[in-house]
Structure 1
Amino acid sequence: MIRIEHVRKVYGRGEGTVVALDDVNLEVPQGQIFGVLGQSGAGKSTLIRCVNLLERPTSGTITVGGQEVTALSGRSLRQARQRIGMIFQQFNLLTSRTVAENVAFPLEIMGESKTKRRARVRELLSLVGLEEKADVYPAQLSGGQKQRVGIARALANSPDILLSDEATSALDPQTTRAILDLLRDLNQRMGLTILLITHEMSVVKQICHQAAILEGGRIVEQGRVSTLAAQPDSRLARSLFPRPENYVARPGSTVVTITFAGGNASEPVFSTMARRFELDVNILSGNIEAIGDERIGQLQAEFAGEQVPDALAYLRNLGLHVEVHA
């Protein structure tokens, strides 16, 4: 649905030049939720604004739904943008308009009749659970309700794609979960492709099918979230599963990192192994995370005993990833 190829964005000239994006390549499949994860200043907002050409790349191409939007301008660009909805961190609602009038605003710009606008607004407010708030003003809403209005407004033109620019970072954890559940529901019910940027790992692990990590304007890692989480050396896995630092193994023992995925994450593998191979096991750290509908865990432990090599082979035969530390 979205293809970003060799995109570069530079601000300023000479000594004041800032490279916000540097040779970024990304593909967002149709109907998926794709997260771009990065810290402040990584280039995330610039990237998402380039998709609908609120920022025009210095070089490279962006294709949306088979149409190269970086080649468009004027009326053709405005028409292409109608297929792309966007929600913002600070909601960007019109304070002098009611909830219904905010949602209707894109339809007014398109010249839709009042009858069609009213019907579409009712449909959208029902979709986001705000039917009873149609006639109130943004100042009377909570942060979560404001973001629901922003989502309804972004869907007014029935877009194929929804862009989310840190849409939950101003919300409390409970409201964030509710908004993410809404976005996942929209994705499943409408087949909506969602590209979201965030600095929060919790957002990525809760709803994203795929993710990319942006550092210093460059993509340093990308793939399916569950796949990356199951790779111990990936940046995403290291963020999810912090390891103990500067641990010195006892003489005669072996320190290992074991990654569990799927059903193995819920099985008593360690206790079975310790009894079978007569090992002393010292757990150093561990955690299990829910990644979408899959459970993935990582455990660091110290093994001691004569049958450690056999125990490691046993774990590998179960399909677990076993990393032995020197």
Structure 2
Amino acid sequence: MIEFINVHKIYHQSEQKVVALDGVNLHVKAGEIFGVLGQSGAGKSTLIRCVNQLEKPTLGFVKVNGEEMTKLSGAALRQARQRIGMIFQHFNLLSSRTVAENIAFPLEVIGDSKLKRKAKVEELLALVGLEGKANAYPAQLSGGQKQRVGIARALAGEPKVLLSDEATSALDPQTTRSILELLRDLNQRMGLTILLITHEMGVVKQICDSVAILHAGKIVEQGRVSDLAAQPDSLLAQEFFPRCKGYAPRSGAVLATVAFAGDVARNPIFTTLARRFDVDVNILNGSVETVGDRRVGQFQVELAGTKVTQALEYLHKSEYAVEVH
């Protein structure tokens, strides 16, 4: 649904060249929730604004649903943008308009009749859980309610793609969870493709199917969230499961990271190692998390005994990913 092909974006500021995107290749499948994770200055906002051409790439191509956005201009670009909704960190609502009028605004722009706008607004208010708020003004709403208005407005044009620009970072944790649940519900109910950018690992854990990690304008890792979380050496897994640093194993012991996903997460693997191979297992760190609909776990362990090598071979053969340090 969304494809970046060797996208570069360079800004020139006071005779300095700032590289915001440096050869980005990105592939977002139809119907998935795709997260772009990175710290401030990584280039996330520039990346998402290249999708609807609020930013024009210096080099490379961006396609949405097979259409090359970078070749469009004028009326063709405006028409293409109507199929792409966008929600923002600070809501961007019109303070002088009611909730209903904010949601109806894009429908006015495209020339829908008053009757059609009214029916669509009522439908969208119900969809985002804001029945009874049609005549309220933004100043009378909580942050979560404002973001629901923003989501309703973004859906007014019945887009195939929804862009989320740090849409939950200004909200408290409980409200963030409710907004993310709403986005997941819309994704499943409408088949909506959602591309969201965030610096919050919790957002990726809760709703993202796939993720790309952006650093200094480059994609340094990309894939299914549950697959990456189950790889001990992946950057995402190291964010999900922080490790003990500086630990020195006992003499003769082996320090290893054991990762797993899916059905094997139910197995009492460390008890099995202790019984079958007479191995002492010292769990230093780790946990089991639910990522999407899969259980994913990773543990940093110290293994000691005469059959540690056999125990590690058993893990490899039993669908566990093992990294020996």
Whether the TM-score (by the shorter chain) exceeds 0.5 is yes
Structure 1 vs Structure 2 CA RMSD:
1.1
* Partner residue, 1:84: 84
Q: Quote the Cα distance in structure 1 between the aligned partners of 2:204 and 2:271.
A: 32
Q: Is residue 203 of structure 1 aligned with residue 239 of structure 2?
A: no
Q: Quote the Cα distance in structure 2 between the aligned partners of 1:220 and 1:251.
A: 36
What is the 5 A alignment of 1:53-92? 53-92=53-92
Using the TM superposition, give the Cα deviation of residue 79 of structure 1 relative to its aligned residue in structure 2, in angstroms.
0.5
Using the TM superposition, give the Cα deviation of residue 170 of structure 1 relative to its aligned residue in structure 2, in angstroms.
0.4
Query: Are the counterparts in 1 of residues 85 and 159 from structure 2 also a CA contact under 8 Å?
Result: yes
What is the 5 A alignment of 1:27-46? 27-46=27-46
TM-score, with length taken from structure 1: 0.97
Using the TM superposition, give the Cα deviation of residue 205 of structure 1 relative to its aligned residue in structure 2, in angstroms.
1.5
Using the TM superposition, give the Cα deviation of residue 13 of structure 1 relative to its aligned residue in structure 2, in angstroms.
5.8
Using the TM superposition, give the Cα deviation of residue 187 of structure 1 relative to its aligned residue in structure 2, in angstroms.
0.6
Using the TM superposition, give the Cα deviation of residue 65 of structure 1 relative to its aligned residue in structure 2, in angstroms.
1.1
What is the 5 A alignment of 1:50-199? 50-199=50-199
SS of match in other structure, 2:322: strand
* Partner residue, 1:316: 316
Q: Quote the Cα distance in structure 1 between the aligned partners of 2:200 and 2:273.
A: 36
* Partner residue, 2:234: 234
Using the TM superposition, give the Cα deviation of residue 318 of structure 1 relative to its aligned residue in structure 2, in angstroms.
1.7
What is the 5 A alignment of 1:253-268? 253-268=253-268
Question: Counterpart of 1:292 in structure 2: which amino acid?
Answer: G
Q: Quote the Cα distance in structure 2 between the aligned partners of 1:244 and 1:22.
A: 33
Indicate the larger mover: 22-31 or 121-130.
Answer: 22-31
Q: Is residue 49 of structure 1 aligned with residue 49 of structure 2?
A: yes
SS of match in other structure, 2:132: helix
Using the TM superposition, give the Cα deviation of residue 314 of structure 1 relative to its aligned residue in structure 2, in angstroms.
2.1
Query: Are the counterparts in 1 of residues 281 and 302 from structure 2 also a CA contact under 8 Å?
Result: yes
Q: Quote the Cα distance in structure 1 between the aligned partners of 2:109 and 2:14.
A: 40
Question: Counterpart of 1:6 in structure 2: which amino acid?
Answer: N
Q: Quote the Cα distance in structure 1 between the aligned partners of 2:104 and 2:43.
A: 32
Q: Quote the Cα distance in structure 1 between the aligned partners of 2:252 and 2:60.
A: 55
* Partner residue, 1:276: 276
> Structure 2 stretches of 5 or more lacking a match?
none
Deviations 1:78-134 (A, max 9, x none): 001000000000000000111000000000111110000000000000000001111
Deviations 1:252-298 (A, max 9, x none): 11111111211222321111221222222211111112111111111
SS of match in other structure, 1:132: coil
Query: Are the counterparts in 1 of residues 51 and 62 from structure 2 also a CA contact under 8 Å?
Result: yes
Query: Are the counterparts in 1 of residues 228 and 236 from structure 2 also a CA contact under 8 Å?
Result: yes
Q: Quote the Cα distance in structure 2 between the aligned partners of 1:256 and 1:187.
A: 38
SS of match in other structure, 1:310: helix
Question: Counterpart of 1:191 in structure 2: which amino acid?
Answer: G
Q: Quote the Cα distance in structure 2 between the aligned partners of 1:15 and 1:104.
A: 43
Deviations 1:24-69 (A, max 9, x none): 1111111111110000000000010111011111111111111111
Using the TM superposition, give the Cα deviation of residue 14 of structure 1 relative to its aligned residue in structure 2, in angstroms.
7.4
Q: Is residue 298 of structure 1 aligned with residue 275 of structure 2?
A: no
Query: Are the counterparts in 1 of residues 233 and 323 from structure 2 also a CA contact under 8 Å?
Result: no
TM-score, with length taken from structure 2: 0.98
SS of match in other structure, 1:185: helix
Q: How many residues align?
A: 325
Query: Are the counterparts in 1 of residues 4 and 25 from structure 2 also a CA contact under 8 Å?
Result: yes
Q: Quote the Cα distance in structure 2 between the aligned partners of 1:70 and 1:52.
A: 9
Query: Are the counterparts in 1 of residues 98 and 137 from structure 2 also a CA contact under 8 Å?
Result: yes
Q: Quote the Cα distance in structure 1 between the aligned partners of 2:49 and 2:110.
A: 22
> Structure 1 stretches of 5 or more lacking a match?
none
Using the TM superposition, give the Cα deviation of residue 319 of structure 1 relative to its aligned residue in structure 2, in angstroms.
1.1
